Amino acid sequence: MKAKAFAAVFTAILSSLSLCGCNTSVDYRVTYSYRSEITSTVSEVSPTDAEIVLFTDTQKAGKIATLAIKAKPQTEYRIEVEYSSGVSTSKQLQPKKSDLKGYVAWLWRIGHNTKPDTYPVRIYYGDTLVLSLALQVEAS
């Protein structure tokens, strides 16, 4: 991904922190996986072809986790984060429609009482699994 596109996605993520009730002055650590190039053109992209743009794969309980993908433009995707207590019902994890370039991102606060462990994060198009990732939660 070109630096300009990455900056646009990252800026959008940071600007949406206020939407999840996050304190942007809080110092939090972000560890992420990053893909350097996304080669598909819009006409070639199927709703089930998605690339990870940014993913917080390790985070402390009580902090913000982030997942941004590039997929088919103008398509609705939903996210599931399954903790030991069950699938999260957080308001920040609602289905979202990708933008005109195919980008969609979620930010959510991991609960303060979430036990350290590895939890599945899944992205769906309808009932079809598109991506399956692992979020490592550490003690706060």
Nearest-angstrom CA–CA distance, 109 and 124:
20
Nearest-angstrom CA–CA distance, 58 and 9:
20
The continuous run of DSSP H or E covering 4 comes out as helix 3-15
Q: Write down the pLDDT at residue 83.
A: 97
What percent of the chain has pLDDT above 90?
64
- Using DSSP's 3-state secondary structure scheme, residue 85 falls into coil
Nearest-angstrom CA–CA distance, 13 and 102:
15
The strand ranges marked E within the chain are 31-33, 51-60, 64-70, 76-83, 86-87, 96-97, 103-109, 117-125, 128-138
Residue ranges per domain, the chain? 3-138
Query: Residue 30: pLDDT above 50?
Result: no
pLDDT tens-digit series, residues 70-85: 999 999 999 999 999 9
pLDDT tens-digit series, residues 115-137: 999 999 999 999 999 999 999 99
Give the distance between the most distant pair of CA atoms in the chain: 44
- Using DSSP's 3-state secondary structure scheme, residue 11 falls into helix
CATH code, 3-138? 2.60.40.1930
